[in-house]
């Protein structure tokens, strides 16, 4: 089996209607680093794309009989990716090194991610790269307030690209940045209008790229918002359906088996409410930190970092959840880890209480 990092990366560019997905893609494809990129688009927009490996995908979702919505296989994409790979191998098209999928404005990016990660044939040739979400700075806040698609697109992103910043007021830009930071604190926020817009930073630097992995993780962990100590929401004061992000830290190494039992159970029952889990685990008996990365029910294969990004050896996990209690999640994770490291009869806990680094909250419409 091909090593995971050696598979062809698939980037998803998503964003609400009119948020500038195609314009961004046009800019990125002009870069020499992305010349070996195949592009799949759901719909041809007003902005034309002049690219030699451009294909249209008729949007259609294949929902398995017993499947949940987020795990729906995108049948259209399944066919397109299989066909693309087959033609590449037969030499009918250039040997592209990357695929970029531009979704329609109302698309949920999670079934696309699921198709890449779980489709039996595709998963052996492709891997998921960064999910890039464009946000219109002028209308973005209203879209986040009124459209669940927009919130989902922002919450699962690895890169948040602010578009139309040249026609937005400073107040609009700052308010949107604050809202996005609270919704998805671990994502990199980039101004699409920046002269030095770097396609490498947007598409190719990810946690499965050996060269950029440590840097990417270091950036998650140093995120100002996650470490700013906004703990007033910690004790379950969230409204029923609020989406918010928080980071938990643990001093005691995790038992990997217990962690797997806990996370599979959580995602089975609450996967629709766990939009994102990513983190760095100190696993008992393992020499290097283990990186985990999940989007709803879908979990990437774990990878390791060659070394810790800083002197801190705590496990740190970032959650983006909808309406779930941070306190309950921490208690549950500690209880499951304690199954493998039982509490001695003296009552001294084998697992120390989770230390919440911070929590941020955003209202959901």
- Burial of 337 by CB count in 10 Å (0-12 exposed, 13-18 middle, 19+ buried)? buried
Q: Give the residue among 355, 350, 346 at the shortest CA–CA distance from 338.
A: 350
CA–CA dist 304, 286 (Å, integer):
10
According to the binding rule CB under 8 A, does residue 8 interact with another protein?
no
CB 280 within 8 A of CB 290: yes
Indicate the residue among 11 and 293 with the shorter CB distance to another protein: 293
Q: Do the Cβ atoms of 181 and 314 come closer than 8 Å?
A: no
Footprint on residues 237-256 left by another protein (CB under 8 A): 256
Q: How far is the CB of 242 from another protein (least distance, A)?
A: 16
Within the chain, residue ranges assigned H as helices are 21-29, 75-90, 109-118, 140-146, 148-155, 170-183, 199, 213-221, 256-270, 326-340
- The answer to whether 354 touches 248, Cβ cutoff 8 Å, is yes
Span from 76-84, 197-205, 229-237, 257-265 in contact with another protein (CB under 8 A): 257-265
Q: Taking contact as CB under 8 A, which single stretch among the options 154-162, 221-229, 264-272, 308-316 is the one that binds another protein?
A: 264-272
- Residues 25-64: x/- map of binding to another protein (CB under 8 A)? ---------------------------------------x
CB of 284 to another protein, least distance (A): 9
Q: Toward another protein, which CB reaches closer, 138 or 261?
A: 261
> Distance of alpha carbon 345 from its chain centroid, rounded?
41
CB of 138 closer than 8 Å to CB of 17: no
Q: State yes or no: residue 109 binds another protein (CB under 8 A).
A: no
**Of residues 310-329, which lie at the interface with another protein (CB under 8 A)?**
324-325, 328-329
- Token digits for 140? 């973005």
| 303 in contact with another protein (CB under 8 A) | yes
Footprint of another protein (CB under 8 A): 1, 3-4, 64, 66-68, 71, 73, 114, 118, 120, 123-124, 256-258, 260-271, 283, 285-288, 290-291, 297-304, 324-325, 328-329, 331-332, 335-336, 338-340, 342-343, 345, 347
């Amino acid at each position: 089996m091909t090593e995971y990092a050696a598979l062809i990366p698939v980037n998803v560019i998503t964003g609400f209607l009119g948020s500038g997905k195609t314009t961004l893609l046009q800019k990125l494809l002009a870069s020499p680093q992305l010349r070996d990129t195949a592009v799949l688009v759901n719909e041809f927009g007003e902005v034309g794309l002049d690219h030699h490996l451009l294909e249209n995908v008729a949007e259609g979702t294949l929902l398995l009989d017993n499947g949940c919505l987020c795990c729906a296989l995108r049948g259209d994409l399944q066919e397109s990716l299989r066909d693309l790979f087959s033609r590449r191998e037969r030499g009918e098209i250039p040997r592209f090194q990357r695929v970029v999928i531009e979704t329609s404005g109302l698309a949920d990016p999670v079934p696309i991610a699921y198709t890449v990660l779980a489709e039996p044939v595709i998963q052996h040739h492709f891997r998921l790269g960064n999910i890039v979400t464009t946000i219109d700075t002028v209308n973005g806040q209203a879209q986040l307030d009124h459209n669940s698609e927009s919130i989902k697109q922002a919450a699962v992103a690895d890169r948040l690209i602010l578009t139309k910043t040249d026609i937005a007021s400073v107040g609009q830009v700052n308010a949107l940045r604050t809202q996005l930071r609270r919704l998805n604190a671990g994502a990199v926020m980039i101004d699409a209008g920046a002269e030095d817009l770097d396609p490498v930073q947007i598409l190719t630097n990810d946690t499965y790229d050996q060269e950029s992995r440590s840097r990417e993780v270091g950036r998650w962990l140093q995120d100002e918002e996650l470490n700013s100590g906004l703990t007033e929401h910690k004790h379950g004061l969230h409204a029923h359906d609020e989406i918010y992000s928080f980071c938990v830290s643990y001093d005691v190494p995790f038992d990997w088996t217990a962690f797997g039992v806990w996370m599979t159970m959580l995602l089975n029952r609450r996967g629709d409410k766990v939009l994102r889990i990513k983190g760095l685990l100190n696993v008992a008996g393992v020499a290097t930190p283990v990186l985990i990365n999940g989007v709803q029910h879908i979990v990437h294969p774990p990878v390791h970092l060659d070394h810790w990004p800083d002197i801190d050896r705590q496990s740190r996990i970032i959650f983006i959840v909808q309406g779930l209690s941070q306190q309950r999640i921490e208690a549950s994770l500690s209880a499951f880890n304690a199954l493998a490291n039982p509490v001695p009869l003296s009552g001294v806990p084998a697992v120390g209480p989770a230390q919440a680094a911070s929590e941020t909250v955003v209202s959901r419409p």
